[in-house]
Structures are given as structure tokens and as C-alpha cells.
């Protein structure tokens, strides 16, 4: 890190800062400018912390130099991570589409959704058994019964299952039924839950928090990785801004940024980001063009009757069309679906 001293800092103050840095294990590099003295502190900031330097007399500001994540960074691992579940690859040259209803509602609904998304070419079925809802009066999910229906559907249609875990106590159950365990937006910084999915043996889909910076998101991945689970899939799903026509603002530039900073695969969820089904097709295609490794799309056999987020769900027919376009754009940039 770099310590910028105040323009009025005395020699004693500069000495005191250097002394403290040395005590904490940093090497020192002193640079006296015309206006300011700047002290470079060389060492592992991640482990040494900031040593309370900011509060020492005469210090103007402390600027970190290194990025605070290690395991998630491309410096640690240069080639991109490819996650393999059976014959399905996430992070290679294929665009993987995860599709299905927001919430599991019934066997009929789930079977129909599964059949249709499979026909359209998706390999992974999404569906929530535990639903985080803003209102206590809204449908909260079918819980274990929903997980069982997901497992049954997998059996019947040969699709992989991705589903959300909200509470550490239901993690063993979710891990038992799911192929990919999803950490939702609201739990991106539920650190205990992150640690525990870091200890499970299933890939984790980690959604970006509603107002998380890319660095914080990678730090959340670092929690999982540091517990020994290397299979983290990042999922961009929109961030909160002042724009209110869309539910959130899909930050597609997160795709090339993550590709630059990290080796982890990244997929995009346009359904939750936009909140309006009619905007989903354009942004699904744009996400693929931006380099996303996959998509997470809500599909419901009958969106008007959906118990959750119907407004952003595609009908199976519309989803089929999106898959065609996605395929064309994927091929145009040298990928396949």
C-alpha cells in the first residue's frame, strides 16, 4: 500500500509511520516530493491488514495497491476454469443455458417447463424451492417438496438441476438434490453460508449482490474458494441504479471485466435484471456477444399464472426463439451452445 502524508506532516510523524509499518512486517520505500511525502509499504496487504496507519498523525490517506482476492484472481490461475458436471461443461467454449421457472409450483408446471427447455436445447433446469421474497405475504416456495420434484424431473428429462439455498440448515438437503447450488443476490455476503458451500462437493452459482462491486463479488467467491471448493460460477444479474423502467441495470461489462480479473466462468441472468420478459431476448443475445459462458433465463409454461416473477418469464415458445438467436450469435463469435 501507499501512504500519502499530509502536506503539513512533520519528520517525527513520518518516522512514526515508518516505524509502525516495519513493526507490522512491511518493508518501506520513502519518497519525498515537493508537495507531499509518500511512503510505499511492501508486503502482503491481504494478510497484514492496514495496521491502523490511516489514524496516525500526519497521514492524509492510505491507498491499497494489490487486489484483495488471491484464489479468485487470474494471477493465481492463468487459464480459465472449466467446470464439468457429467458431460456438461461450464466455462469452455460452450454457452450453457440454464432455464426454467422462478419457483417450483407443481409437478405439472415443472415437467412441462423441463420438457420445453430441453427441446429448445438447454441442458440445465432452474427452479426455486426456497424463495427469498420481499414481502412476508408472498409465496415462499415449496421447500423440500420442491427439491423432490426437481430430482424427479431430472430423472425423467435428463437435465441438470440448479436451485437456491437460503439457510445453512437446509444446505445438506439442497446439496443432496441439486447439481449446482445457487447463492442468491441477497446472500452474496452471507459469509457463513459462503463458507459452508465452500465445504460442499457441488459447484456453486454465486449471484452478484444487488449493489456489490466486482471486487466484493470476487471476495465472496474467495470465501468459497478458500474453503476448498474450486467450482464457482459467477452470475451477473443486474445492479441497483436510479433507472426505474427496468427492475435493475444489467451490467454486461462485468463479463469482460471478470474475464480480465478472474479465471472463474461467468453467466448472465437477464430475467431478474430486467424484470420484463420483452427485454430478455435482446439482452440474452447481447450477453453471449459480450463473452458470457452461459445464461440463466426464466421460462414458465404459463407466465400469467406464475406464483413468482411472471412478468419476467418467457413462454416456452419465446424461449425457443431466443435459443435460436443465441446459437447464431454464439457461432458468430466462435462459440457453440
Ranges within 118-177 binding a copy of itself (CB under 8 A):
132-138, 140, 166-169
Q: How far is the CB of 47 from a copy of itself (least distance, A)?
A: 6
Q: Report 207-236 residues binding a copy of itself (CB under 8 A).
A: 210-211, 213-216, 219, 222-223, 226
Residue 54: how many CB atoms within 10 A of its CB? 11
Q: Report 227-286 residues binding a copy of itself (CB under 8 A).
A: 239-246, 249-253, 255-257, 259-261, 273-274, 277-279, 282-283, 285-286
To which residue does cell 500500500 refer?
Answer: 1
Question: Please, which residue, 40 or 92, has the CB nearer to a copy of itself?
Answer: 40
Which of 10, 15, 29, 119 is the binder for a copy of itself (CB under 8 A)? 29
Residue 177: how many CB atoms within 10 A of its CB? 20
Question: Please, which residue, 55 or 87, has the CB nearer to a copy of itself?
Answer: 55
- What cell was used for 208? 452478484
Residue 88 in contact with a copy of itself, rule: CB under 8 A: no
- Please choose, out of 39-47, 143-151, 154-162, 174-182, the segment that lies near a copy of itself by the rule CB under 8 A: 39-47
Q: How far is the CB of 195 from a copy of itself (least distance, A)?
A: 8
CA-CA distance, 119 to 125, in Å (whole number)?
Answer: 12
- What cell was used for 198? 465452500
- What cell was used for 83? 467446470
Residue 13 · residue 58 · CB < 8 Å: yes
The number of residues in the chain equals: 337
Site string for a copy of itself, 8-27 (x = CB under 8 A): -------------------x
Q: Who contacts 229 (Cβ-Cβ below 8 Å, separation ≥6)?
A: 197, 198, 199, 200, 201, 203, 204
Amino acid at each position: 500500500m501507499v501512504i500519502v502524508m499530509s502536506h503539513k506532516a512533520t519528520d517525527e510523524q513520518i518516522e512514526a509511520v515508518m516505524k509502525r509499518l516495519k513493526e507490522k512486517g512491511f518493508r518501506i520505500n520513502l519518497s519525498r516530493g515537493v508537495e507531499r511525502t509518500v511512503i510505499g509499504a511492501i508486503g502482503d496487504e491481504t494478510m497484514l491488514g492496514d495496521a491502523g496507519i490511516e489514524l496516525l498523525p500526519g497521514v492524509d490517506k492510505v491507498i491499497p495497491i494489490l487486489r484483495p482476492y488471491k484464489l479468485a484472481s487470474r494471477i493465481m490461475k492463468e487459464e480459465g476454469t472449466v467446470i464439468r458436471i457429467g458431460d456438461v461443461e461450464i466455462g469452455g467454449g460452450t454457452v450453457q443455458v440454464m432455464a426454467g421457472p422462478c419457483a417450483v409450483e407443481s409437478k405439472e408446471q415443472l415437467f412441462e417447463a423441463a420438457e420445453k427447455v430441453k427441446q429448445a436445447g438447454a441442458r440445465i433446469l432452474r427452479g426455486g424451492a426456497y424463495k427469498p421474497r420481499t414481502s412476508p405475504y408472498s409465496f415462499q416456495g415449496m421447500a423440500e417438496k420442491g427439491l423432490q420434484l426437481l430430482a424427479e424431473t431430472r430423472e425423467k428429462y435428463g437435465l441438470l438441476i440448479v436451485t437456491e439455498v437460503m439457510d445453512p440448515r437446509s444446505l445438506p438437503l439442497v446439496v443432496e438434490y441439486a447439481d449446482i447450488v445457487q447463492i442468491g443476490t441477497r446472500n452474496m455476503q452471507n459469509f457463513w453460508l459462503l463458507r459452508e458451500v465452500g465445504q460442499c462437493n457441488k459447484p456453486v452459482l454465486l449471484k452478484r449482490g444487488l449493489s456489490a462491486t466486482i471486487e466484493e463479488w470476487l471476495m465472496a467467491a474467495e470465501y468459497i474458494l478458500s474453503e476448498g471448493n474450486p467450482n464457482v460460477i459467477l452470475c451477473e444479474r443486474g445492479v441497483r441504479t436510479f433507472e426505474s423502467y427496468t427492475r435493475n441495470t444489467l451490467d454486461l461489462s462485468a463479463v469482460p471485466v471478470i474475464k480480465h480479473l478472474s479465471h472463474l466462468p461467468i453467466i448472465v441472468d437477464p430475467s431478474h435484471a430486467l424484470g420484463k420478459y420483452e427485454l430478455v431476448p435482446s439482452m440474452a443475445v447481447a450477453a453471449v456477444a459480450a463473452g458470457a459462458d452461459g445464461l440463466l433465463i426464466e421460462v414458465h409454461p404459463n407466465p400469467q399464472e406464475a406464483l413468482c416473477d411472471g412478468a419476467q418469464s418467457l413462454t416456452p415458445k419465446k424461449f425457443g426463439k431466443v435459443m435460436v438467436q443465441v446459437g447464431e450469435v454464439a457461432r458468430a463469435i466462435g462459440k457453440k451452445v
